[in-house]
Amino acid sequence: MLQEGYRQRLIPTVKKTRRPGDPPALIAAAGKIRNEPGWYPCHQDIRNIIESVLAWKSKFPFEYQGSSAPSPL
């Protein structure tokens, strides 16, 4: 289980082996791109990031759920 800090509840998780093409590790750091002129992260606080995700999921409930809803792309 993964602890979701913002909502203080447990999120069920399933650990599986990597799929073909999956990288062995993912590491994200915004330090290098912050040196790019004009770029900055829209959300820096984890609470703001979670709020943004929840708002997006409310606005687009069929995305990433395997539904037959038409893709906007």
- 49 exposed, middle or buried (CB, 10 Å; 0-12, 13-18, 19+)? middle
What integer pLDDT is reported at residue 3 of this predicted model? 52
Q: Which residue has the tokens 């994200």?
A: 28
Q: Is the pLDDT of residue 73 over 50?
A: no
H or E stretch including 47? helix 46-59
- 37 exposed, middle or buried (CB, 10 Å; 0-12, 13-18, 19+)? exposed
Residues 12-67 pLDDT 10s: 778 889 889 988 888 777 777 777 777 777 777 877 888 888 888 888 877 766 55
Strands, E assignment, 1-73? 2-4, 9-11
